[in-house]
Structure 1
Amino acid sequence: MTVTAPPARLISDRLAHWASELPDTPALRYQGTDLTWSQWYERCERLAGALGALGVGRGSVVATYDKNSPACLDLTLTASGIGAAHAIPNWRLSAEEVAYVLNDSGAEVVFVGAEFMKTFDSIRDQLPAVREVVVLGTDGDVEDQFDALVAAATPAPITGAEPSDTALILYTSGTTGFPKGAMITHSNMVAHSEALSDYFQIGHEHRYLLAMPMFHVGGTSPGIGCVYVGAPITITREATPEHLMSGLPGATHAFFVPAIFAALLQAGEVGAKALSQLQLLCYGAAPMPAPVLRASLATWPNARFLQVYGMTELSGAVVALDDEAHRNPDHPERQSAAGVAMRGTELQVVDPATLEPVPANTPGEVWVRGGTVMAGYLNKPEATADTIRPDGWLRTGDVGHLDDDGFLFISDRVKDMIITGGENVYCPEVERILAEHPDVLEVAVIGIPDDQWGESVKAVVVPKPGATVDPGGVISYARERLAHFKAPRTVDVVSELPRNGAGKILKTVLRQPYWEGRDRQV
């Protein structure tokens, strides 16, 4: 069954369209509960009424601090449709970091998962802009308030936004030690959904497994893309083996970070069987280690493999490596490529010093231009100007090259950043915390290879005179102050850090022993 749809201005437009054209067709599944398109749209209209009663309208900001749930996607579609922006903090962040994100976003109404209420209560007095709190789900003595709020509301139209309005505020780790909110507009997400549909090839007869966290473009963006094409969605609470196994029945398409493939392969026959019915296996957010990719292609030979490359600032994916490229015996080197530019995206590689384009097969910084480039960083005009040039090109901070056929290969990073399990970690952010450790004189944070997570965080520290540094203590110190994925997994204690003539720490020297013999340094 194929039903065409009119052009969309807003990300909520297609929800209304499918509710009209396919009212009784399955749309959304979560923990055993199913909704049709008409039921989902009716719930979002009630949510629009509830938000209006709470004083939310064009220019407002609401936030969801929770793991995956239908409410998060409801709020993305509905709040943005009435002209508000939806901020989604990373629930893995420390309480201090969550407080920063909520204050920076300007959120007035916050929807908090019941299991996070204790953490939220600990920072409540630090959030002067928050005037309403709504509990999502039930956890112990904390009772859900969302369902009652929606049920009691008078339905309202999901209108009021313009395509240039910010629909989502998704936060990335910050180069200066604080997260940055990427402002993603309706136009950005519509452009992304159109381009993604070329590669996902998903429709009403399929089902997408939304397992990646919705604070990440790898979670939210494909979810919006499925609404765009009218594909049913199964949402899992998180991407743990237990939740994945419960969400996989009936699914035909899924997106995972490489670490999940590695874990399933390690599970043997059980892991292989878990994905055996999927027609599309998409991966991204971090490089796939070559042994894991080869084993995955052999374990799931009937699935279409798709790698996507992108970033929060690009609303999701802008480069794709399709199944044919994965399996082309004439070009085995393309298995290590990021892919080719998706529809509506321009790529160029430039010399970081001169900012001039370089010839094919010459490394440089990767720049991207197109309809998915974010509007900018919230409250950070200088950071926006450093990232997006006046002519629209976005500087990714990745080092790579384009071959003669337009395939992009990523080899290193200009930015001092690590990607571990799909999460971005900026080294200065971790260094800022570790520099406060009472026994640490100097610290450098680097990324080292990790066969499961792609990279892991390592700290190299110099003790203060007369002090003794306990590596385990440094790790615990970081975990108390940062999200655990940002904390170092290992710590080396050295007498001094290598420096150049100007006194700058030579991280290339620190990283070299770990990356020696590898084709790329990320």
Structure 2
Amino acid sequence: MQSDAHTTSTLASVIRTHAAERPGAVALIQDDEAVTYKELHARSNRVAQALQACGIGPADRVAFLDKNGIAYFELLFGAAKLNAVLVAINWRLTPREVEYIVNDAEATVFVFGAEYADMAAALARELKRVKKFVVIGANDRFEPYARWRDAAGSTDPGIEAAGSDIAFHVYSSGTTGHPKGVMLSHDNLFSLLPASSANWKVDASSVNMVALPVFHIGGCGWAMVGMFNGCTSVIVRDVQPAALIDLIGKHRITHAFLVPVLLHVMQLAPNAARGDYSSLKLVVYGAAPISEEVLGGAVKLLGCGFAQAYGLTETTGAIVTLPPEDHDLEGLHRHRLRAAGKPHAGVEVKIVAPQTGEELPVGTPGEIWTRSRQNMVGYWRLEGDSATSMTGDGWLKTGDIGYFDGDGYLYIHDRLKDMIITGGENVYPAEVENVLMKHETVADVAVIGIPSEKWGESPLAVVVPVKGAVVNEKDLLAFARKYLAGFKVPVGIELRAELPRTPSGKVLKKDLRAHYWEGCTRAIN
């Protein structure tokens, strides 16, 4: 029996519906473990009861730090059955960054993988509100997740959420150096899911690969497209290109969402030519720029439909798609490979002059604004930033620069802000600059994005040394790694006597970037 996913309207109703209508269908596969919808429902009931015993109730936050795994979904649905919210944390972050997020989210329960137990132990005294620590896997210092879960009852608490209640609390990097908690409601999420399901032709018969990290909207949002439809999701914990290729054939994967760097390295894998891709129907890609060479090679290798997705955490993910029929590698419309695509049904997008908000004509670059039911509720505890990012009549300012062509295709041209996207991760130069300025040999610094065939772009630090000091690149980058996640650390240092600035003192980053981007068609690769 195929369930009607479109009757669901909250996270908890997804698992409740599928457990009732297709209990024996496999919901999740990870390595050699397969979990049916009935089993996932029962496990998430126990998680809900265990959380409730820890004092978790509606609108409370539960922190989660681990790579992709079945436990994430048990916790996600378990928290949702209490109308509570799971906050998944980027496992690439440093201890200081994790500490900030757990405290900022006001989490009172912290669940983490065994490989992060040392970090949790070191941070325990600094996590002001956390009353309960639970470890997934073996570690003598904390209560094991499986024992904690299974000691609880299996009755569904039966608590219902309203559409305006928060479903996801996702942290996105902030320009001031601290990440922002993006609040996405059930209404936001369930505006995305039907449209994306239709655009990408996902249904109950699909087999969906979840390879992107679930702390990212591209990971949790993509996973929910599959769960919404009641299909089987194959969970990838550690992304290895050769292993991904094997998984596609082994599990007869039909749908996958992959970042461009993965599409690139999969083509270089030793088993690439031997892979069985016959089950693939669609690969969605996005979260970072992609070159035509990488895209063309991926299309030829995998032999399935491709769709590009453009969106933000603040828009609950995809709002624009370039569909398979526009992936014409040789024909008259080859130029559309550089487009983000066309807005989804129910999504408004316009191009405006950033200073005035005046709508600009076709072909003229400006800031991309969007309005739809997918726009976030706001930033957690940051009313001022929320008001700055959204207009009174519902438009969200994306901070991206783009334009429409005469056929209604959106092209991303540049960024209004200085954000760098490297391998699907956002890096804000201000955060990196603030760290580097603490070093005794640095008098001035600007961080810019430079082209990277592998990552799309990578951060580079342009440094002005303190007079009489010698900047040692190796030492300075090692210093940065103490404070920053690895993907935020610059790939190199360029030394200059001074930085180019406007009369008002603003660094002319476009001048610093110019020679690195010569020959590129766009300023974001």
Shared fold per TM-score greater than 0.5: yes
Letter in 2 for 1:241: P
Cα distance between partner residues in 2 of 1:506 and 1:256: 34
Cα distance between partner residues in 1 of 2:165 and 2:3: 28
CA shift, 1:4, in A, is 2.6
Pick which of 438-447 and 260-269 moved more: 260-269
Is 1:189 the counterpart of 2:189? The answer is yes
CA shift, 1:12, in A, is 2.0
What is aligned with 2:513? 511
Cα distance between partner residues in 2 of 1:405 and 1:77: 42
Say if 1:71 and 1:351 are closer, same or farther in 2 by CA, change over 3 A. Answer: same
What is aligned with 2:322? 321
Cα distance between partner residues in 1 of 2:262 and 2:276: 12
Cα distance between partner residues in 2 of 1:32 and 1:335: 38
What is aligned with 2:428? 426
The correspondence of residues 116-131 of structure 1 with structure 2, limited to 5 A, is: 116-131=116-131
What is aligned with 1:440? 442
CA shift, 1:319, in A, is 0.7
The correspondence of residues 96-175 of structure 1 with structure 2, limited to 5 A, is: 96-138=96-138, 145-154=144-153, 155-175=155-175
Number of residue pairs matched by the alignment:
520
Letter in 1 for 2:343: A
1:71-108 CA-to-partner distances (Å, cap 9, x unmatched) read 11222222123211111111101100000001100111
Q: Structure 2: which 5+ runs fail to align?
A: none
Checking the alignment, whether the CA contact within 8 Å between 1:58 and 1:160 is kept in structure 2 is no
Q: Structure 1: which 5+ runs fail to align?
A: none
CA shift, 1:358, in A, is 0.5
The correspondence of residues 467-506 of structure 1 with structure 2, limited to 5 A, is: 467-506=469-508
What is aligned with 1:208? 208
1:305-331 CA-to-partner distances (Å, cap 9, x unmatched) read 011011111111111111001127231
Letter in 2 for 1:308: A
SS at match of 2:7: coil
Cα distance between partner residues in 1 of 2:31 and 2:142: 18
SS at match of 1:273: coil
TM-score (norm 1): 0.96
Letter in 1 for 2:149: V
Letter in 2 for 1:319: V
Cα distance between partner residues in 1 of 2:448 and 2:359: 29
CA shift, 1:137, in A, is 2.0
What is aligned with 2:34? 34
Say if 1:6 and 1:425 are closer, same or farther in 2 by CA, change over 3 A. Answer: closer
What is aligned with 1:176? 176
Say if 1:354 and 1:236 are closer, same or farther in 2 by CA, change over 3 A. Answer: same
Say if 1:53 and 1:190 are closer, same or farther in 2 by CA, change over 3 A. Answer: same
Cα distance between partner residues in 2 of 1:291 and 1:276: 22
Cα distance between partner residues in 1 of 2:246 and 2:237: 10
SS at match of 1:270: coil
TM-score (norm 2): 0.96
Following TM superposition, the consecutive aligned residue runs of length 4 or more in structure 1 with deviations greater than 4 angstroms are: 141-144
What is aligned with 1:310? 311
CA shift, 1:23, in A, is 1.3
Checking the alignment, whether the CA contact within 8 Å between 2:213 and 2:220 is kept in structure 1 is yes
Cα distance between partner residues in 2 of 1:392 and 1:345: 12
CA shift, 1:365, in A, is 0.3
Cα distance between partner residues in 2 of 1:471 and 1:79: 46
SS at match of 1:12: helix
CA shift, 1:59, in A, is 2.0
SS at match of 1:521: coil
Say if 1:386 and 1:274 are closer, same or farther in 2 by CA, change over 3 A. Answer: farther
Cα distance between partner residues in 2 of 1:243 and 1:392: 44
Checking the alignment, whether the CA contact within 8 Å between 1:45 and 1:158 is kept in structure 2 is no
What is aligned with 2:350? 348
CA shift, 1:226, in A, is 1.1
Cα distance between partner residues in 2 of 1:158 and 1:438: 58
Say if 1:81 and 1:404 are closer, same or farther in 2 by CA, change over 3 A. Answer: farther
CA shift, 1:476, in A, is 1.1
